[in-house]
Structure 1
Amino acid sequence: MEAFVQSKREDTAKEPSLFLLPEWMEADKRLTAGFTGRGGGVSAEPWTGLNIGLHVGDDEEAVILNRKRVTEALGWPFEAWTCTEQVHGSRVAQVTLAERGKGRERMDDTIAGCDALMTDVPGVLLTSFYADCVPLYFYAPEAGAVALAHAGWRGTVGGIAARTAEAMASAYGVRPDQILAAIGPSIGDCCYEVDGLVVTEVDRVMDELKLPEGERESCMQRKKNGKASLNLKELNRQIMIKAGILPSRIELTTWCTGCRTDLFYSYRVEGGKTGRMASWIGLQER
């Protein structure tokens, strides 16, 4: 069953397109977690719709209004929106009350130099941005801690999934087997062909993980022309498992941003000139 369920709203032309993690949210009513689509925003072409990215050339006022639409639909104050710079690395930053709201209206105000955020502060809404890369979600119910990680191919082979679990363990005393994880809408191996350095780096990671042949094939399928189809979602799942997160506690989406450009933005399929979706996670104050 698909983990990320599209919210059915009365007027999808005016309301932001949201894909929710209902199983998590029903288990803890304070929790909100999900992913935005491209519908229900005010951005003009070529970012048409709910573009969440301030860094893609869109009108800043339109992007901020789109972000406000999302937080309003979630029942959160816009002041809670907190985001990072995203540099395609594997560094994890801890968000305290002092960082709440960083980056919500300006790129130069984001939490710099990292691609993952974690917090145990209620009332902080962690967010990050995508147009094919893989959103990773982490939730530790016992500790009241949440995290998000942005995993492109560089972040994936850099082990950002494992680094985030390790950082949560260090900061909040959470064992990996206590973490719930989710892998959200992103480009699938059906639409993601790679070669050269990417293939070499993925091979290195699979060797380090000691994946058997069948699981290696599920992560990357080689072609006769030297290229390969890469399943970044599955590779991140294997990294999570190696880090100690239980397979039964990992939700894995079936949505492909490349196949469904009616619902999502896709950098690769749309030739680079497109908007960005957002992942989000946060715990309301009691």
Structure 2
Amino acid sequence: MVEAVLVDLFSLPANLQDNIQGSLCNTLETIEKCSSICAPFVYVMCCQRQGSERKGEQEFLLPALGGFQSLERTLEVVFAPTTAAALYTIKQRLDEKDLSIIKVILPTVRKDSMKVYIDYLFTAVYQFEFEDLQMVSDCENIQISEPQGEGQTLLSQDIALIRSEIEMHLESLPSLKGELTILRSSLIPDDVFLHGFTTRTGGISYIPTLSSCNLFSSFKRRDPQVVVKENLRRLANAAGFNPEAFRRVKVDHANAVCIMGKTEPDSYDGIVTDQKGVTLAAPGADCIPVLFADPVRKACGAAHSGWKGTLLGVSMATVNAMVSAYGCNVKDILVVLGPSVGPCCYKLPYESAKEFHRIDPKCVRLFDSATPYIDIRRATRILLERGGVLPENIQDDSITDQNQNITFCTACHPDKFYSHFRDGTNFGTQIGFISIRD
């Protein structure tokens, strides 16, 4: 069932903008009579002409509603200078109400371009259906579009212009939830490596569980890739790396490692390089983002270590990849565990907990319960030390000086970090990143 209707009047000719009331009245007739749509929310997007500011648009348009009193509380008209700005504003309204099934009524000539805007600004969470706008009134001068055939396929340069328009709009938006903050480890030498762990502040993601510096997009979440890209651009500017030379692991919750310059696996939770200026990253929203640095051989790596990856030894697999690919000595490699769910909060079913108990009984608390508490950080340290990494070369939550602690519990700090465990399926993601300075 359609949850919202979007009426695209953005291409309304300038000479008809002054008669928007009559035009809107005809549009609502189209919705009620022609489309047989019974939707609780209707959004109308219109062009805000340069040099004009419309204030109180809703009050301005209410007299035109006439017999549409049922829509007065659920209709919103959005004036904006660009289609990207108007559509992004409407997306915010849809997300506020958790609406996902949208009917778009628009002139035929706008259909192909609108689909491109939607592809960039929305994800697979949303469902769109399209209907031609054929709005004719008794007055001949209020005729927005003639019935015509399907629009012509857009040229690549048209698509590029749309993408540029979207990116420019997103760049203009203010940061949310405070300034962008990066946590850095004192263990990794700053003169050789650029690195850090992100927090949730300083981006433009506005959905509460994704707000604000979400750095991962998927078909299950409401943050599109263009928003994540803008968050990454802001992070890159603040941290000082090139967002175009950025490589994030392709998470599989296993232990495969990608060695840059060799054949890239379809999925992997660890990545290593000795190339300068390439930033490697691992996501985390409870799972551990782990960073690796060898200041002697000047090589680095990043790994994503959830409970499955921890049991499979993904961190030690990343160390071994650096040793085999770049001739690193395991005793030179520094390892830093970033923000992740702590043993204070994290529970697993008993059968999974048994695997951690086998690594070391201290990795499990309340072992006899149905869902014991698990310490995936301690398990990671133990496996690294068994593999030859020096204890003093590992930084985690066991650090003595808490002023230097960066391995916070993500579930315990909702103001600073995202947490899948805490927030559910539409969760945001922070990252750990590292590169070798030029």
TM-score after normalising by structure 1: 0.83
Match of 1:247 in 2: 391
In the alignment, what sits opposite 1:279?
Answer: 432
Count of aligned residue pairs for this structure pair: 252
AA aligned opposite 1:16: L
User: Counterparts of 2:213 and 2:242 in 1: how far apart (Å)?
Assistant: 18
Residue by residue over 1:42-70, the C-alpha shift from the partner in whole angstroms, topping out at 9 and shown as x without a partner, is 01213110000022331222111000111
Q: Residue type matched to 1:20 in 2? A: R
Distance 2:308 2:222 in 1: 24
Partner of 1:262: 415
In structure 2, the partner of 1:230 is 374
Instruction: Select 1:164's aligned residue among 297, 318, 323.
Output: 318
- 1:34 aligns to what? 196
Choose from 327, 331, 338 the match for 1:177.
331
CA distance in 1, matches of 2:367, 2:292: 34
SS at match of 2:379: helix
Q: Deviations over 1:262-281 (max 9, x none)?
A: 10000011123211001101
SS at match of 2:424: coil
Given that residues 183 and 237 in structure 1 are in contact (C-alpha distance below 8 angstroms), is that contact kept between their aligned partners in structure 2? Answer: no
The amino acid of 2:301's aligned partner reads A
Q: Using the TM superposition, give the Cα deviation of residue 225 of structure 1 relative to its aligned residue in structure 2, in angstroms.
A: 2.7
Shift of 1:224: 4.1
Q: Hey, what does 2:26 align to over in structure 1?
A: none
Distance 2:186 2:334 in 1: 13
Counterpart among 240, 244, 249 of residue 75 in structure 1 = 240
Deviations 1:93-120 (A, max 9, x none): 1113x99xxxxxxxxxx96310000000
> Does residue 88 of the first structure (1) align with residue 256 of the second (2)?
no
Q: Which runs of 5+ in 2 are unaligned?
A: 1-174, 398-406
| TM-score with structure 2 setting the length | 0.55
- Residue 234 (structure 2) pairs with residue 45 (structure 1): no
1:21 is aligned, of 185, 200, 205, to 185
Q: Find the aligned partners of 1:236 and 1:189 in 2 and give their Cα distance.
A: 13
Provide the C-alpha distance between the structure 2 equivalents of 1:123 and 1:280, rounded to a whole number of angstroms: 12
Q: Which amino acid aligns with 1:41?
A: G
**SS class of match (2:241):** coil
Distance (whole Å) between structure 2 residues aligned to residue 69 and residue 201 of structure 1: 40
- Match of 2:268? 114
1:268 is paired with a residue whose SS is helix
The one-letter code matched in structure 1 to 2:197 is: F
Runs of 4+ in 1 over 4 A off after TM superposition: 11-14
- Cα pair distance change 1:78/1:220, threshold 3 Å: same
Q: CA deviation at 1:201?
A: 2.3
- Aligned AA for 2:374? L
The more displaced of 271-280 and 55-64 is 55-64
- Corresponding letter in the other structure for 1:261: P
Structure 1 residue 84, shift from structure 2 partner: 2.1
Contact preservation (8 Å) 1:116, 1:164: yes
5+ long unaligned stretches in structure 1: 1-10, 100-109
**SS of corresponding position for 2:420:** coil
The answer to whether the Cα contact below 8 Å between 1:189 and 1:230 also exists between their aligned partners in 2 is yes
CA radius of gyration, larger in: 2
Quick one: distance in 1 between partners of 2:371 and 2:243?
44
Greater relative contact order (Cα 8 A, min sep 6): structure 1 or 2? 1
Q: Distance in 1 between matches of 2:243 and 2:328?
A: 29
- For residues 178 and 437 of structure 2, the distance between their equivalents in structure 1, rounded to whole angstroms, comes to 25
The answer on whether the counterparts of 2:273 and 2:299 sit within 8 Å (CA) in structure 1 is yes
What is the CA distance between 1:196 and its match in structure 2?
A: 3.2
Q: Is 1:187–1:258's contact at 8 Å kept on the other side of the alignment?
A: yes
Aligned to 2:6: none
- Deviation, 1:81, is 1.2
Percent identity among equivalent residues?
A: 30
The one-letter amino acid paired with 2:246 is W
Question: Quick one: which amino acid aligns to residue 39 of structure 1?
Answer: T
Q: Secondary structure at the match of 2:215?
A: coil
Counterpart secondary structure, 1:44: coil
Deviations 1:127-171 (A, max 9, x none): 121110011111111111001110001100001111111111111
CA distance in 1, matches of 2:187, 2:267: 32
Shift of 1:14: 5.7
Instruction: Say whether the 8 Å CA contact 2:250–2:268 is kept in structure 1.
Output: yes
* Paired residue type of 2:183: F
What is the one-letter code of the residue matched to 1:271?
G
Q: Output the aligned Cα RMSD.
A: 2.0
